[in-house]
Structure 1
Amino acid sequence: MHKRSLVAALASLLLVSTTYAADKQEAKDKPAEAKPDAALLQPQSSETTGSVRVEGKSIDYKAVAGTLVLHGSGDKEHEPQVSMFYTAYFKKGADAAKRPVTFIYNGGPGSATVWLHMGAFGPKRVVTSDDSHTPAAPYNLVNNDYSLLDASDLVFIDAPGAGFSRLIAAEEDRGKREEQMKDRRKTIYSVDGDGHAFAQFITQFLSKYGRWNSPKYLFGESYGTTRSAVLANILENESSVDLNGVILLSQILNFDTSIDGPQFNPGVDLPYVVALPTFAAAAYYHHKLPQQPAALEPFLREVEQYALGDYAQALMAGSRLDATRKQAAAEKLHQYTGLPVAYLMKADLRVTGGMFEHELQGDGDLTTGRLDSRFSGPSLDPLSKDSEYDPQSSAISSAYVAAFNDYVRRQLKFGEGQQYRLFAEVDHWDFAHKAPGVSGEALQQSTNVMPDLAMAMKTNPNLKVSLHGGYYDLATPYFAADYEMHHLPIQPALQKNISYDWYPSGHMVYAHEDSLKKLHDNVARFIGETDNVKR
C-alpha cells in the first residue's frame, strides 16, 4: 500500500510531467554512457557582471555560473560522483562576513531550479500570463523588481542530474562504468542521498567563496521543502553549520497529507481534511459556490474550522456514519466546494485532488489546474474520473524553459554545447527515510521528515522557520502545511520560531505578480530580522 501511495506522491510533485516524460524518452534513445567527460571531473565557472533594480534601488552584482564536484564518503572519498551546477549572484561591494547567503532550489524530486531562478528571485524574470496560457515565443524577459538580491546573495542549485548537473562515472571500462552509474542513481536519487549531496555542495561552496561566517539560509519549494528539513538536520548535526533561517514555499513534509492518491492509503483520511480549504478557494475563484462569499480569507477560516471538526469526525466514523449525518455532510461540502451532493455521496465524502480538478467546472469539459487552481484548460477526456494533465504547467513551462536556455548562454556565458535538463533521468526515487533517532533500517512508511526539521530546531533553538503557500495550490495544499507545522514534535516555546504567510496564488506563488511582491517583501524582512547583523 505504501509503495503505491509513494509512487502517486512522486508523480504528483513533478512540476512538468510531460517534459519529464520527453526527457526520459530522449535518454532511452541515447547510447549507453559514453567515456566520461573530463570537464565533469573539474569545477567549471563563468563570471559575468550585471545590475538589477529592486523596488527602485539599483544593485550591482557579480554572477558566477559553474559547477562543484562532489565526492563519495568512506572508502570512496576520493571518487568524484556528481558535477553540480549552480548560479550565484554576489552583491558588489558588500562585506561577505555580514552579507547573508541564501541557497535556493526547486523540488521534483530531481528538478532543475529554473522556476525560482526565472520566476521569483533572480535578477531577470520571465513574464507569463496570470491565469491563462502564455502565448508562444518570443517571451519577455524583464528586470526583476522583486529579486531577493537586496536582502541576500543568492545561490540557485540544480539537483544532481538536472539542469547542467550530472552524475559522474569515472571508470574507463564500459561495463564498470554502467555499474558505477547504477550505484550513483541508487544512492543519490533518494531522500537521504539527495540531502547529503546538497549538504556537501553547501559546505564546499562556503569554503570556495569564503562564506563560513555569513548568515545562512535555505529556501526550498515543493519537494525542496522536504529536502530542506533533511538538509537542515544534516547541516546542523553532521556538518556543524548553524543556519539563521529555513524558508519553505509550498510545503510537504509528511506525504500522508497529500491529496494526490489518498485512495491507495485507505484508513488515512487526513488528506481529505486538509485539502478541503483549497477546494473551497478554487470554487470561490471560479464562482462555483452556491452562495459566493464576500471575501476569500474569512470564508477559508470558516472552512478550516469545519474541516477539523464535523468533517473530520464524519470521515473517522467510516461505515458507522449513519445516512442522515452523511447526507448532511454532503450538503455542507456542496456549500464549500460547489460539487453536486449526489457526486459527493457517491464518492463517500472523499474527493481526491484529481477528481476535484476534473469535476469542479461543470460537466468535465474543463480541467482545473493542480499547481494553480486559478488556471483551466480543455479536458483531455471529459469522461475520465480524474484530471489527466495540469493546465497551469502546460500554460507556463515553455516560457521558463526557453527564457533560461537563452539567458544562461547569452548572459551568463555557460552551457554552450550542453543540454539543460529540466528533470534528472530518475527511474526510481527511493522515498525510504531514516529519521533522526531511528536505529537499524529506514522505517517502511510514507516519507515524513517532520522529525528532521524538529531535530534541527531543537539542536539550534535560535533557528527560525518561515512558511509560505498559495491558497490555490492543489499540489501541496496550504492547510496541510499549516497542519504539519502545528504538529511538529517540538516544545511549545519553539513554535514561536515559525512564521506563516499565505497568498492568493498557487504552488508557484510568484507566478502571480502581486503575490511575488508580497513574497519578496516577507522573505526580505525575515532575513533582515534573523541575520544577526548589527546595523
Structure 2
Amino acid sequence: MAQDKPRAEAVAAYEPRKAAKRFTGTFGGQRVAYTATVEEQVLRDDKGAARAAIVTTSYIAEPRNPARPVTFLFNGGPGSASLWLQMGAFGPKRVAIPSDARDDGAPPYPILDNPDSLLDVTDLVFIDPVGTGFSHAIGDTDPKDYWGVTKDAKSVAQVIRQWLDANGRWNSPKFLGGESYGTTRSAAVVKELEGGYNDVALNGVILISTVLDFGAGAETEGAELGYITTLPSMAVTALFHGKAAAASPDAFAAEARRFAIGPYAAFLLKGQQAGAEERAAVRRELARFTGLSEAYLDKADLRVASGRFYKELLRDRGLTVGRLDSRYTGRDYDSAGEVPDNDPSFYGIDAGYTAAANAWFRESLGYRPDRNYVTIGGVRDWDWRLEGGRDTNAYLNVTPYLGRAMRENSGLRLFVGQGWYDFATPFFAAEYALTRTGIPQDRITWSYYDSGHMMYVRDQDRSKLSADVRAFIRGR
C-alpha cells in the first residue's frame, strides 16, 4: 500500500500538457488571426483520479467570439488520429502531396497555408481518441476501457463537454464531423450528447465517407446486400480506367444504381432459383458495368467481392486498383494472385501526412511529448457491441441514432460527402443507410467528388469540399 500511494497521488495530480501559438492566415478569402492550442483533456474517475488524456487541437479566431460556430472533428479507423482532416482538409495548414493519384514519394513534404480551411466561418477542434495521435491511458488504466463503439463515444462526448466548459462555448452553434469510422463515431457521439435531458444540442453533423450501416456493405458468405451497394463503385472505377463507356461518372453511377437495386437485386435474392435466361441477362449487364469478362463473372457466380475486383480489373495491365481511392494503381509482386498485396491509395499518401503532423505539432507548435504520434493502427480488439441487445449487435447499424436526434432536434441537419472512387465506404451504401425510415430527408445535403475516400487529396475536390461544408455551416 505504501508503495502504491505515490503512484496514486501522481495519477490524481496529473498535469495536462499544453502548447499554444498565435498565427494569421487567409481562409475563404478572409484574413483571420487565430490561436492554435494543443492540449490534453484529462478524463477522471468519480474519485478524481486521472484515467486518460485525450489530445485536442483547437484553432480559435481572435478576438474570441462565443457567437461563432465551433466544429468538433475526428477521423476514423477505429484507431486513426485526426491528422487526415486536420492536415489535409480543414486545418489552417496542409501537407502538399500529388493531386493526381500518384505516390507521395520521399520527404521533404511541403507544409503550406491552407486557404480552404474553415476558420473564416467556424472555430475548429480536432480530437484524437485514446490510442491515437498523442492521446493515451494514464497509469494502470487499460486503454481497452475506451476502445469500442459505445465506450469511445462516451469518452469523446465527455471531452466535448469539458472543452465547452473550459472555453465558455455552451451557447455557440455547434457542429460535429467525422470521416470514415468517424461518421460511425459521429452518430454514436450524437446519441451521447443528445440522448438525454442534459444534452448538448447540435446544429449539424458533417459525414465524410460515410459508414453507418455495417450490414449494407458486409462481404460475408450468404449476404447479398454488399454486392448491390458496391456495384456502382465498381462501375465508376471501370469507367475511370477505360474499362467501361459512359458520358460521366455521375451519369454512369445513376445507371448502375438502377440496375443494382432492380434486376441485379432481384437476381441475387432468388439465389439458386434464378433461371438461366435471367442469369445470362444479368451477366451481360454486370460485365458492362464492371469491366470484367462474362467468363470471370460466371466463375464468381455473378458476385464479385471488392478485393477480387481490385486485382482483376487491370490484371491485363499488371496493375491493381486502390481500396480507399480506386483511381490509384499499384504493381504487385506478381499478377497471378487473388487480391492485391496492399492498398496503393494508402501507401501512396501515408508518409507525407505522418511527417507533416509530427513537424507541425513538435516544431511549429512546440508540443513535444515523449511518445510516438500514432497515425492509425495502434488500437486493437475494438468492442463493436451496441446498447440494444442481441438483434442490434447481429446487425450493426448506428443510423437510427441520427434519425432519432433529427426527429427530436428540429434544427439538426446532415451534410454527407462521398467520393465516387471509394470502396472503403461506398457511396451507394451511404445512400442506402440514410434513406431508411425515420430519417428526415429534407435536412440532408449530399455532395459527390471525383476522387475517393479522402477526396481532399485532389486539389479541386479539397476546394469543393471546403466550399460545400462552408455553405452548410452558413446555412444554419
Q: Same fold (TM over 0.5)?
A: yes
Q: Are 1:340 and 2:293 matched, yes or no?
A: yes
What code does the residue aligned with 1:311 have?
A: Y
1:206-249 alpha-carbon deviations (Å, 9 max, x no partner) = 00111101100001000000010111111012341110000100
- Percent of aligned positions that are identical: 39
Contact 2:12-2:49 within 8 A present in 1 as well: no
Contact 2:77-2:377 within 8 A present in 1 as well: no
**Aligned mate of 2:138, from 168, 188, 195:** 168
1:257-276 alpha-carbon deviations (Å, 9 max, x no partner) = 225xx1x241x211111111
1:175-225 alpha-carbon deviations (Å, 9 max, x no partner) = xx3xx42xx41x311100000000000000000111101100001000000
Give how far 1:360 is off.
0.9
- 3-state SS, counterpart of residue 467 of structure 1: strand
Match of 1:425 in 2: 378
TM-score by length of 1: 0.84
1:117-174 alpha-carbon deviations (Å, 9 max, x no partner) = 10001111111112111121011111101001111000011111111100123xxxxx
Counterpart CA distance in 2 for 1:381 and 1:154 is: 45
What code does the residue aligned with 1:250 have?
A: S
1:380-409 alpha-carbon deviations (Å, 9 max, x no partner) = 442221223110101110000001101111
- 3-state SS, counterpart of residue 250 of structure 1: strand
- 3-state SS, counterpart of residue 53 of structure 1: strand
What code does the residue aligned with 2:213 have?
A: N
Give how far 1:424 is off.
5.8
**Aligned mate of 2:33, from 60, 68, 71:** 60
Task: Name the CA shift for 1:431/1:265 in 2 (closer, same or farther; >3 Å).
Answer: farther
Q: Are 1:108 and 2:77 matched, yes or no?
A: yes
Match of 1:274 in 2: 229
Say which is worse superposed, 324-333 or 77-86, in terms of deviation.
Answer: 77-86
Q: Are 1:471 and 2:426 matched, yes or no?
A: no
5 Å-filtered alignment, 1:177-256, equals: 177=140, 180-181=141-142, 184-185=143-144, 187-238=145-196, 239-256=198-215
Say which is worse superposed, 414-423 or 35-44, in terms of deviation.
Answer: 35-44
Match of 1:95 in 2: 65
Q: Are 1:119 and 2:88 matched, yes or no?
A: yes
Say which is worse superposed, 245-254 or 382-391, in terms of deviation.
Answer: 382-391
What code does the residue aligned with 2:52 have?
A: V
Task: Name the CA shift for 1:382/1:362 in 2 (closer, same or farther; >3 Å).
Answer: closer
Q: Are 1:511 and 2:457 matched, yes or no?
A: yes
TM-score by length of 2: 0.94
Contact 1:191-1:433 within 8 A present in 2 as well: yes
Q: How many residues in Structure 1 have an aligned counterpart in Structure 2?
A: 467
Counterpart CA distance in 2 for 1:71 and 1:381 is: 52
Match of 2:338 in 1: 385
Match of 2:250 in 1: 297
Match of 2:42 in 1: 69
- 3-state SS, counterpart of residue 468 of structure 1: strand
Task: Name the CA shift for 1:485/1:280 in 2 (closer, same or farther; >3 Å).
Answer: same
Contact 1:364-1:383 within 8 A present in 2 as well: no
**Aligned mate of 1:50, from 6, 23, 32:** 23
**Aligned mate of 2:261, from 301, 304, 308:** 308
Match of 2:429 in 1: 480
Say which is worse superposed, 199-208 or 85-94, in terms of deviation.
Answer: 85-94
Counterpart CA distance in 2 for 1:143 and 1:488 is: 43
5 Å-filtered alignment, 1:355-434, equals: 355-363=308-316, 365-423=318-376, 425-434=378-387
Q: Are 1:147 and 2:96 matched, yes or no?
A: no
- RMSD over aligned CA atoms reads 1.8
Give how far 1:41 is off.
2.5
Counterpart CA distance in 2 for 1:42 and 1:329 is: 64
Counterpart CA distance in 1 for 2:136 and 2:398 is: 26
Give how far 1:107 is off.
0.2
1:100-123 alpha-carbon deviations (Å, 9 max, x no partner) = 000000000021111001000111
1:491-516 alpha-carbon deviations (Å, 9 max, x no partner) = xxx22111111111100011111111
Give how far 1:42 is off.
2.4
Give how far 1:479 is off.
1.0
Unaligned runs of 5+ in 1: 1-34, 170-176, 531-535
Counterpart CA distance in 2 for 1:324 and 1:77 is: 70
What code does the residue aligned with 1:204 have?
A: Q
1:39-72 alpha-carbon deviations (Å, 9 max, x no partner) = 9922221110112222432211111111110124
Contact 2:400-2:438 within 8 A present in 1 as well: yes
Unaligned runs of 5+ in 2: 1-6
